[in-house]
Amino acid sequence: MGDRLSRRFAEICAAEPPSDASILLRRAVVLGGSVAGLFAARVLSEHAEEVVVLERDELDPADVSGARPGAPQGVQVHALLQAGSVQLDRWFPGFSTELVEAGATTGSGDSTVTYIDGVRKASPPDVSNLCSSRLFLEGHLRRRVLGLDNVRAVRGRADGLIITAGKVTGVRHVPVESTGDSAADTGQVLAADFVVDAMGRSSRLSEWLEQAGWPRPALRRMNVDLNYATAVFRRGDELPTVNSAVSFQTPQSTFSRTTAAMVSVEGGRRMIVLAGYADNRPSRDPEEFRRACGEQPREFAEIAERCEMIGPVLTYRQADSRRRDFHRLDRLPGGLVAAGDAVSSFNPVYGQGMTSGALHASCLSEYLRSGASPTAPAHRYFDDVRVVVDAAWQTSTLADLGLPHVTGPYPRGYRIMTWLSGLVANASLTDADINHRLTQVTNMLVHPNALATPGVLLRSVRALRGQARNGSAATAAD
Ligand SMILES: Cc1cc2nc3c(=O)[nH]c(=O)nc-3n(C[C@H](O)[C@H](O)[C@H](O)COP(=O)(O)OP(=O)(O)OC[C@H]3O[C@@H](n4cnc5c(N)ncnc54)[C@H](O)[C@@H]3O)c2cc1C
């Protein structure tokens, strides 16, 4: 079972573009033109004569950095996991080079700095980060997708599905400003033989299904009560060799209660986010923000002290991580899938969201190339999506369950899983091989089962014994 999951995960994470795509559909409609929707549209462009991206915001291919109300999180720091940049280059050859040429940055080895509870951790040499603002990344993605011959954007608010004889045949949509009570607000129908819900974590697809007499997917939530504050600084001559930094706190941390991350982004800027839980709310007051950076490791303190802050500190709150278990549905209309945050939305501090959305697109490609009828219920697609969601959910929720204010739900085997992950995490502070494997898992390059092998556990125990002999991990890692 474990091996099967790891193998399937590896197939979904493939880096090579597929060579066996064929046209199966007349018109596919993607609801939502954010990161997950754009990836889905790219995959569908190989299988449909026409792909329509229905989005309530104006999608301007010429605007590569503008904020938009439909994805308000866009102004917060977004880190891209390495599996995400692999998928970007898979579906958009040359994407990361193009982004860097346009101003994004990359870093690997010692230019990516990680602290756990204030202790510097070695950076595995072969993990590299592509750093840009989220808006810039999405803007370039939008330009590439809307530049495809058979993809176009339609502005409108999706309002429901047309389901005929058990299959999706269209999407109802209304003008963006519609209140629904005037003749001018009359909805329109976009015919479709395949529909992707990429409307984000607040998607109303479940309600639409229920209203049409179909079961709704179970919604699982874990309250995390997360508070974000992001500030942008002008980059100067400080820290010339540091590209990105993260200062993670475990629930046991005596160093700080605030997690911090810094990325060097386009336009010669650095973005810093401070994140706290429950009553720990990083301030939007600039001086208070700088002071809080001063309590973090030196990279944060130095930027806050030396660099000019550009614009205001912007805050954001996310109440929960959530997932919709479409894979458990026994009845589902044909020609309908969901992707991205509409399926699973995680605690953002682990940076899994955009990469998961990209991997859902890979699942879609696997499904459309599998020989399954695309207008039949997509159970096989959702089985693959579950492999991706379980992997990310396990990594992030296991860590979150250790937070004092998080009260469950606890998965079966929670205690042993926590013990094992603590063992590996502690060993990774001094053992380069364990650190490499853990980083591959946290970057979603490898399934978490790769850490649960006897070899890894034995090596971790040995590493901890070594730490005990030589003094604390902190001393060893400094
Ligand atoms: C504070 C914060 C920080 C984050 N940091 C990271 C990070 O570091 N790394 C990372 O990988 N991820 C991060 N994420 C997650 C990331 O933002 C999402 O996973 C990513 O945007 C993919 O989401 P999506 O495309 O599924 O949905 P969204 O980005 O939420 O987009 C949904 C789209 O659907 C449109 N829409 C909604 N309803 C309708 C409708 N009825 N009709 C038409 N259009 C509609 C919206 O306008 C929007 O464009 C973070 C999230 C938050 C909140």
The span from the CA of 216 to the CA of 209, in Å, is 6
Ligand 1, closest atom to CA 351?
A: 9
Task: Give yes or no for residue 324 CB within 6 A of ligand 1.
Answer: no
* pLDDT bucket at 67, cuts 50 / 70 / 90: very high
Of 241, 227, 228, 229, whose CA–CA distance to 302 is shortest? 241
Structure tokens at 204: 């109303």
Ligand 1, closest atom to CA 57?
A: 47
pLDDT at 408: 85
Of 391, 389, 463, 380, whose CA–CA distance to 427 is shortest? 463
Task: Give yes or no for residue 282 CB within 6 A of ligand 1.
Answer: no
- Ligand 1: residue whose CA is nearest its atom 15: 353
The predicted model gives 184-198 an average pLDDT of 89
SS3 277: strand
Question: If you measure from the C-alpha of residue 265 to the centroid of ligand 1, how many angstroms do you get, rounded to a whole number?
Answer: 20
Question: If you measure from the C-alpha of residue 127 to the centroid of ligand 1, how many angstroms do you get, rounded to a whole number?
Answer: 25
State phi, psi for 94 to the nearest 5 degrees.
80, 5
Over the stretch 412-433, which tens digit does the pLDDT of each residue have? Answer: 999 999 999 999 999 999 999 9
266 and 102 Cβ atoms separated by less than 8 Å: yes
Sign of CA dihedral 435, 105, 133, 204: negative
Task: Give yes or no for residue 31 CB within 6 A of ligand 1.
Answer: yes
Cβ atoms < 10 Å from Cβ of 135 = 20
Over the stretch 329-363, which tens digit does the pLDDT of each residue have? Answer: 999 999 999 999 999 999 999 999 999 999 999 99
The span from the CA of 191 to the CA of 272, in Å, is 44
pLDDT at 387: 98
How far is the CA of 124 from the CAs of 245, 266, 421, in angstroms?
A: 14, 24, 19
Question: If you measure from the C-alpha of residue 81 to the centroid of ligand 1, how many angstroms do you get, rounded to a whole number?
Answer: 16
Tell me the residue ranges of DSSP E strands in 156-192: 157-164, 167-174, 188-191
Lowest-confidence pick of 8-12, 114-118, 164-168, 182-186:
182-186
Angle at which helices 432-442 and 414-427 pack, to 10 degrees? Answer: 130
Cβ atoms < 10 Å from Cβ of 131 = 28
* pLDDT bucket at 474, cuts 50 / 70 / 90: very low
Cβ atoms < 10 Å from Cβ of 89 = 16
Over the stretch 231-287, which tens digit does the pLDDT of each residue have? Answer: 999 999 999 999 999 999 998 899 999 999 999 999 999 999 999 999 999 999 999
Question: If you measure from the C-alpha of residue 257 to the centroid of ligand 1, how many angstroms do you get, rounded to a whole number?
Answer: 26
Q: Which helix (H) or strand (E) holds 51?
A: strand 48-55
* pLDDT bucket at 183, cuts 50 / 70 / 90: low
How far is the CA of 23 from the CAs of 45, 46, 374, in angstroms?
A: 9, 6, 11
Question: If you measure from the C-alpha of residue 32 to the centroid of ligand 1, how many angstroms do you get, rounded to a whole number?
Answer: 9
Please give the share of the chain, as a percent, with pLDDT higher than 90: 89
State phi, psi for 246 to the nearest 5 degrees.
-140, 140
Task: Give yes or no for residue 395 CB within 6 A of ligand 1.
Answer: no
192 and 169 Cβ atoms separated by less than 8 Å: yes
Pocket test for ligand 1, best of 34, 176, 273 (most atoms within 8 A of CB): 34
Of 183, 179, 226, 171, whose CA–CA distance to 55 is shortest? 171
Pocket test for ligand 1, best of 29, 30, 35 (most atoms within 8 A of CB): 35
Over the stretch 123-171, which tens digit does the pLDDT of each residue have? Answer: 888 888 999 999 999 999 999 999 999 999 999 999 999 999 999 999 9
The span from the CA of 152 to the CA of 223, in Å, is 37
- Antiparallel, parallel or unpaired: β 105-108 and 128-131: antiparallel
Question: If you measure from the C-alpha of residue 34 to the centroid of ligand 1, how many angstroms do you get, rounded to a whole number?
Answer: 6
